[in-house]
Structure 1
């Protein structure tokens, strides 16, 4: 049976998505917003609709909107069924966490490459 460490590309994706400070902060913000939405939905009564869920979509933007465009092009009305909205949010957050990890790695590599101009000039 193969382990995760036997797949270097998969290990790199996991490390970029979950094991760097920028991604962890982002995922923490998403978790906090998710808890806020859950508490607001389950325990707070409102006279009209609550906009608490908007925070999740703002944290998942802009990639979540690509899912909405895709679903509307496929013929689903108003973003599609609930399972699709949840899946779009989860995938969008993971894609953005991966992108943050990749960006942090890129910045570290550029920063450690040394000066951009030759010495002595």
Structure 2
């Protein structure tokens, strides 16, 4: 009988695809650099008008961030959504795209072959 709970091996594979390859790490580094830039610009730089620094985060999180925005608007949030839903949409979008980059890289590296299970030591 299948256990519906994600086991340790599945979680490790998920983490390896999301954080354990160079494409995902470069992407996450760019997102981190943009987040630091936005934070410094927001907290320490005085502007007469609004700053567009936060747009860089949305460029890096596009297009999936807009899917999360549409989803949050469907369950009754106001047009822009509360602040926590914006941050949650950004975080989920970045993690989803990092996973997709890792999966795509593995697909290219393996040449489209499917992996077969081999017992250890065989």
Matches of 1:68 and 1:74, distance apart in 2: 10
SS in 1 for 2:111: helix
Q: Is the 8 A contact 1:71 1:79 kept in 2?
A: no
Alignment correspondent of 1:37:
38
RMSD of Structure 2 on Structure 1 (CA) = 1.4
Alignment correspondent of 2:51:
50
User: TM-score, normalized by length of structure 2?
Assistant: 0.83
Alignment correspondent of 1:86:
87
Matches of 2:38 and 2:90, distance apart in 1: 13
Runs of 4 or more off by more than 3 Å in structure 1? none
Matches of 2:70 and 2:110, distance apart in 1: 35
Give the Å deviation of 1:79. Answer: 2.5
User: TM-score, normalized by length of structure 1?
Assistant: 0.84
Alignment correspondent of 2:67:
66
Structure 2: segments with no counterpart, 5+ residues = 1-6, 114-122
SS in 2 for 1:68: helix
Alignment correspondent of 2:16:
15
Deviates more, 1:63-72 or 1:12-21: 63-72
SS in 2 for 1:49: coil
SS in 2 for 1:46: coil
Cα deviation digits, residues 34-68 of structure 1 (max 9, x gap): 00000000011111110000100110111110011
Matches of 1:111 and 1:65, distance apart in 2: 30
**Higher normalized helix content (fraction of residues):** 1
Alignment correspondent of 1:25:
26
